[in-house]
Chain A
Amino acid sequence: QVQLQESGPGLVKPSETLSLTCFVSGDSISSDYWSWIRQPPGKGLEWIGFISYSGRTNYSPSLKSRVTMSMDTSKNQFSLKLSSLTAADTAIYYCAREVLYTGSYFGFQKWGQGTLVTVSS
């Protein structure tokens, strides 16, 4: 049974860079697509981007200039960096596994528990 676990600081200062890591257990990250999704407290879900099993990335246009994703297959983990933080980046950050079902349909099949990141001085 695959498990995902986010790790990173709970509090970050404005203008700094957030670094989060998602540790994956129970399966290899050398398949499927690995995403970051965030949710401001009490609000809806926003897709940040993904990194594929081959290392290809795709970022949300609204965040593209500030986002970098990477993966370390030897440690079975992938990471998110988000720069130039403001209070608007305060959110629960989830990592998720996006799988390909038959017929070219994708879905976020497995999620981490989420980690709250607060941007404040």
Chain B
Amino acid sequence: DIQMTQSPSSLSASVGDTVTIACRTSQSISKFLNWYQQKPGKAPNLLIYAASTLQSGVPSRFRGSGSGTDFTLTISSLQPEDFATYYCQQSYNAPKTFGQGTKVEI
């Protein structure tokens, strides 16, 4: 199985800040990396696929980058609705594995 390691596990930020979340995989996965946002009591929501492609309807302040084993999700000009938990997930092969999550708090 491909292991996913996210960092940090949580971070505190303010509205308007820029935050960066890292995701590292245990083996190279090219660009087969997705990012999800999950709010309390809700299902995850796909933000970015193929490491850097924004899902339809996702604001442009979300940006994904990276390839191989190191990936980054950057949220610019943080908005109140962005406070949530973020997960990376590899789609390179089965079993599809997720990072442990990064909680973005005020």
Contacts and interface: CB of A to CB of B under 8 A. Distances in A.
Interface of A: 35, 44-47, 49-50, 58, 60-62, 94, 96, 101, 103, 105-109, 111-114
Interface string B43-54: 111100110010
Contacts of A47: 94-98
Interface size range on B against A = 20 to 34
Contact of B34 (A60, A62, A108, A112): A108
Contact of B43 (A44, A46, A111): A111
B34 A107 contact: yes
A62 B45 CA distance: 25
A62 B91 CA distance: 18
A24 to B, nearest CB: 15
Given A44-B87, A47-B96, A107 B46 contact: yes
